[in-house]
Structure 1
């Protein structure tokens, strides 16, 4: 019998989180130990934000190092998987009404491998990615997320990777600096809306005002959250597996549903 999978929103923050041990990485280690082994993993990453809806089509996606100026060690991280094609075909069939296209122009970006490295370090589960369509509004992404519900039942773990608060321009580089008030206010607003199943508030997050504009200056890191919320069913439990704000303006709040 195939086990229905939970859905995850995992904050990824700095690429350095892939190679350092901290309270965040330990929370992902613990999550991986608690999760069963899925048949495959679909990644929805903030870092594949493009003018169309694509699925990667490679059986073994290549790692993408989509960042600059970091230690050489980070560019040597490998997360090599295989066996994705049957699951890509399942996803493609579910999304056929959304004009989804298959492509080999992308692979597995750090929004995916930097968190998978901590959750499933053996890299023995097939992985593929779904892009974020930059031309579409928030409601489109939420509705597209609902179309992925059958994948959960077929043993595919949907892992969305982004950040609820993501303002690189306001980052404080002393890790001990306190979060900005607007970052705390928006992160708490999102938390409460998730707890209360007020998804409309999050689709229309800009209505929260200035704190939303500061926290989400561009929406690509927020959009993955909408896919996860769309997949929540009435019986699903919500668990916040990590809830710190790093560098003043990066929410590392991570969520397990189901």
Structure 2
């Protein structure tokens, strides 16, 4: 699992046997802070990730829990919380191309049946949120729709250069990705895509003007 909400100054991976829940948000209904998702960790897989990513220095973190970017997704995919989960942090000091190339070292995990999930938003601008449209599906600014469509096209045509160098889309990109944390998880998924694998979108809506809920499967 690669979540936008573990954005750190170094590369880390969860290595605890039973990571705790992290409720890293505020201003939301209290019910969200009561959600439980007691998925086990996997120290063995964490060590394998650390080994595969060498010579990058990867810190095993036995104390780190699962943030809401992880459990909010996994709770619907595996509601019984019976699948071991390991979360990899995003190194905020590195450029997009570094992230894209880094995760390619984990390609053998897919061959072993490990599901790799990226959790974030292609369009994520909290300062521009239209609160009166927070619950309106399809409510998006023109620039948000434009950037979503540009990135979707880059994915369907497998244009890795446009995905990595998304800033080439100018103002659309600057407004949609004011900080890279929510965009980068997409690169971890796209970098592991084989040449003949298709992208299947199963949710492609915008809400609140400046948030995209685009969700997709590869393979």
TM above 0.5, one fold? Answer: yes
Residues 57, 193 of structure 1: CA spacing in aligned structure 2 closer, same or farther, 3 A cutoff? same
Q: Secondary structure at the match of 2:122?
A: coil
Cα distance in 1, alignment partners of residues 139 and 93 from structure 2: 35
1:90 and 1:151 in contact (8 A); partners too: no
Name the structure 1 match of 2:176. Answer: 215
Report what 2:161 is aligned to. 200
Deviations, residues 84-129 of structure 1 (Å, cap 9, x unaligned): 1221122121112211111134210000000111111110000111
**How far apart are the structure 1 equivalents of 2:179 and 2:51?**
30
Instruction: Decide whether the 8 Å contact of 1:64 with 1:110 is kept in 2.
Output: yes
Partner of 2:162: helix, strand, or coil?
Answer: helix
Among 162, 187, 191, the alignment partner of 1:226 is 187
The answer (yes or no) to whether the contact 1:59–1:84 under 8 Å persists in 2 is yes
Return the alpha-carbon distance in structure 2 between the equivalents of residues 105 and 67 of structure 1: 19
Q: In 1, are the aligned partners of 2:15 and 2:41 still within 8 Å (CA)?
A: no
Q: Say if 2:205 and 2:212, in contact at 8 Å, map to a contact too.
A: yes
Q: 1:51 aligns with which of 1, 4, 9?
A: 9
Q: Structure 1 residue 63 and structure 2 residue 21: aligned?
A: yes
Per-residue deviation, residues 199-232 of structure 1 (Å, max 9, x unmatched) = 1111111111001000000110000111111000
Q: Of Structure 1 and Structure 2, which has the larger fraction of its residues in strand?
A: 1
1:117 aligns with 2:75: yes
2:148 and 2:204 map into 1 onto residues whose CA distance is 9
Which residue is 1:84 aligned to? 42
Question: Which of 85, 96, 99 matches 1:141?
Answer: 99
Q: Distance in 1 between matches of 2:80 and 2:210?
A: 32
Higher relative contact order (CA 8 A, sep 6+): 1
DSSP-derived class of the 2:87 partner:
strand
Structure 1 unmatched runs, 5+? 1-42
**Cα offsets for 1:164-214 (capped at 9, x unmatched):** 000011111223373100000000000000011101111111111001000
Q: TM-score, normalised by structure 1?
A: 0.81
* Compared CA separation, residues 151 and 72, structure 1 to 2 (3 A): same
CA distance in 1, matches of 2:62, 2:27: 26
Aligned position for 1:169: 127
Of residues 218-227 and 86-95 in structure 1, the stretch that sits farther from structure 2 once superposed is 86-95
Q: In the alignment, what sits opposite 1:98?
A: 56
Question: Is the contact made by 1:45 and 1:112 (CA closer than 8 Å) also made in structure 2?
Answer: yes
Aligned to 2:148: 187
Distance 1:178 1:226 in 2: 25
Mapped contact 1:61–1:128 kept (Cα < 8 A): no
